Amino acid sequence: MVENWTFWAILSAVFAALTAIFGKVGVTGIGADFAVFIRTVVILAALALILTARQEWQGIGGISVKSWVFLILSGLATGISWVCYYRALQLGDASRVAPVDKLSVVLVAVFGVLFLGEKLSGTNWTGVALIGLGAILVAWR
């Protein structure tokens, strides 16, 4: 089961949901950017412990320039996303902010097709459209 991508994707969804709930409560009374900083420090510490426990530290010399560039871009995108997400949580209901944030699922499908050459069937596109429509309907006041 732990070698199955769906297992990890479901866990990701569960923890993403908890991220929204915990973040909404945690950002109360402090600046959103400082909340993201605290979250980031916790993530760094947790990952350092995981890497140490699993003995998975790697030398950075073997990482290609392409990997460096895209990992840096991914990190920047993640940081900007988190800053925007925590600002949104500070201003709105978690039950409305999280579904709009999940419009990223729709964008990943579109970007995957446009930039990575991935193929989606008509059924897949219907699902993508329903996800988008669902996010909009949940956020609608």
**pLDDT > 80? residue 1:** no
**pLDDT > 90? residue 137:** yes
CA-derived radius of gyration, the chain:
17
The pTM (predicted TM-score) of the whole model is 0.84
Confidence of residue 107 (pLDDT cuts 50, 70, 90): very high
Q: How many CB atoms lie within 10 A of CB 31?
A: 12
Confidence of residue 140 (pLDDT cuts 50, 70, 90): confident
Per-domain residue ranges for the chain?
1-93, 102-141
pLDDT confidence of residue 20: 92
Which residues, at least 6 apart from 91, have a Cβ–Cβ distance to it below 8 Å? none
At residue 63, the 3 state secondary structure works out as coil
Please tell me the distance from the alpha carbon of residue 78 to that of residue 39, in angstroms, as a whole number: 12
pLDDT confidence of residue 141: 81
Which pLDDT tens digit goes with each residue over 42-95?
999 999 999 999 999 999 999 999 999 999 999 999 999 999 999 999 999 999
pLDDT confidence of residue 96: 92
pLDDT confidence of residue 2: 83
Nearest to 40 by CA among 93, 4, 76: 76
